[in-house]
Amino acid sequence: MGTSIFGGTTQSAASANNVNVISLDASGLDHESRVMAICSSLLSLLDNRMNEQMKLMEARNQEADQLRGYLQQLNTVLNQFEVGSGPDAKVSTKSDNVDVAKTLTDVQGAMKSSGISELVKLAPEGVFRKGDVDLAISSVTGMMDSKTQIQQKDSFTLQSLLGKRNETYELMSNVFKKCQDSKAVISRNI
Predicted pLDDT at 23: 58
Measured in whole angstroms, the distance separating CA 25 from the mean position of its chain's CA atoms is 34
How far apart CA 104 and CA 93 sit, in angstroms, is 5
Mean of the per-residue pLDDT values of the chain = 82
pLDDT tens-digit readout, 121-138: 888 888 888 999 999 999
Sequence ranges of the domains in the chain = 10-171
Residue 161 clears pLDDT 90, i.e. is over it:
yes
What residues contact 35, with CB distance under 8 A and at least 6 apart?
5, 171, 172, 175
What residues contact 141, with CB distance under 8 A and at least 6 apart?
71
Question: CB atoms < 10 A from the CB of 116, how many?
Answer: 17
Quickly state the pLDDT bin for 25 (edges 50, 70, 90): low
Question: CB atoms < 10 A from the CB of 104, how many?
Answer: 24
Q: Which helix (H) or strand (E) holds 22?
A: strand 21-25
152: left (phi over 0), alpha (psi -120 to 50) or beta: alpha
How far apart CA 159 and CA 98 sit, in angstroms, is 51
Q: Which residue has the higher pLDDT, 93 or 159?
A: 159
Predicted pLDDT at 67: 92
Residue 7 clears pLDDT 70, i.e. is over it:
no
Nearest to 109 by CA among 100, 119, 94: 119
Q: Which residue has the higher pLDDT, 25 or 14?
A: 25
Predicted pLDDT at 28: 67
Measured in whole angstroms, the distance separating CA 59 from the mean position of its chain's CA atoms is 6
Over range 149-170, report the average pLDDT: 92
For the 10-171 domain, the top CATH level (class) is: mainly alpha
How far apart CA 157 and CA 60 sit, in angstroms, is 14
